Amino acid sequence: MKTKIVFSEKCLHYGGWHIEGPQRVKMAHEILKEKNYTFLEPDSASEEDLLKAHDADYIWNLKKGLVEDPDTPAYDNIYKHARLSAGGAILAAKINGFSLMRPPGHHAGRSGAALGVYTRGFCYLNNIAIAVKTLNKPTLILDIDGHHGNGTQEIFQGDEKVVYVSLHRYPHYPGTGAYSEGNCLNFPLPADCGEQRYLETFDEALGMVNVGKFEVVAVSVGLDAHLGDLASLGLTENSYLEIGRRIAALKKPVFFVMEGGYVGEQNGKDIDQLLRGCDEKTG
């Protein structure tokens, strides 16, 4: 059975000039539509949902638009857009789907910027963290974005219900994730390391985790590790197919949340391959 996609055109209504602009999701949506995926419209996350992962003071500032930093502008109605993206992650978690929404989230910590990094890297609310907290089940988080998810690590550091695993380019923004810390397992990789090394590292990472203790796998899907994208690790469409197969082999309910990936057409192709890899073993 094909994974369902969570998407709303409302997430295209801001940020046209920015690299994290609507085109990167719009083009992916068009390609996935051609592939006959089913799309579902999300509701916005409640403030109660947001407070499971973020401090009340930060939510107040976000409501007021007091969140400007060099990478993350205070767009008009950004609180509304961010809540809808978080709601997309919550719906994806409930249906084992893929949230194709923006803004992304894995650099957003409890109080915004996380782990000593000034900027929030295009992120306002940590969508995957909110979804995992809302599910409240033992969860393995796999972060395949080319950048380290410093916000996700900060939120779940020391959480006995969660193990966070990240494969990312290092040294690179945000400059964190050089080593593992407790329940947060980090696998830094050099730029353009290529598919073989990446998949070998992915297998190594999964081999270090007691998968049986988890009820859910949550995947932060950053596609900027694709060859030539913003955090290139030299991956290809085939790489995402193989990642999907490995995730399917875990034999756990899984949901996906869009993070980075800045070449819209390529994003759609990579998502299709990732989900094909998952669905061919679970369908």
Residue 178: predicted pLDDT:
98
Residue 278: predicted pLDDT:
96
Average pLDDT, integer, range 9-31:
96
Residue 1: predicted pLDDT:
82
Residue 116: predicted pLDDT:
74
Active-site choice (29, 81, 106, 107):
107
Where residue 283 falls among pLDDT bands split at 50, 70, 90? low
Residue 264: predicted pLDDT:
94
Residue 245: predicted pLDDT:
98
| One-letter amino acid for residue 202 of the chain | F
- Both tokens assigned to 34: 């051609």
Residue 86: predicted pLDDT:
99
Cα 134 to Cα 89, 197, 271, distances in angstroms: 10, 34, 24
- Both tokens assigned to 9: 């055109």
Q: Is 168 a catalytic residue?
A: no
Residue 216: predicted pLDDT:
98
Average pLDDT, integer, range 235-250:
98
The pLDDT tens digits for 65-100 are 998 888 999 999 999 999 999 999 999 999 999 999
Kindly report the average pLDDT of the chain as a whole number. 96
Average pLDDT, integer, range 144-158:
98
Residue 117: predicted pLDDT:
87
Distance CA 134, CA 253 (A): 15
The pLDDT tens digits for 159-168 are 999 999 999 9
Residue at token pair 């756990």: 252
Domains of the chain: 5-282 (3.40.800.20)
The pLDDT tens digits for 171-224 are 999 999 999 999 999 999 999 999 999 999 999 999 999 999 999 999 999 999
The pLDDT tens digits for 35-68 are 999 999 999 999 999 999 999 999 999 999 998 8
CA-wise closest residue to 136 among 105, 90, 181, 186: 90
For residue 282, pLDDT beyond 60: no
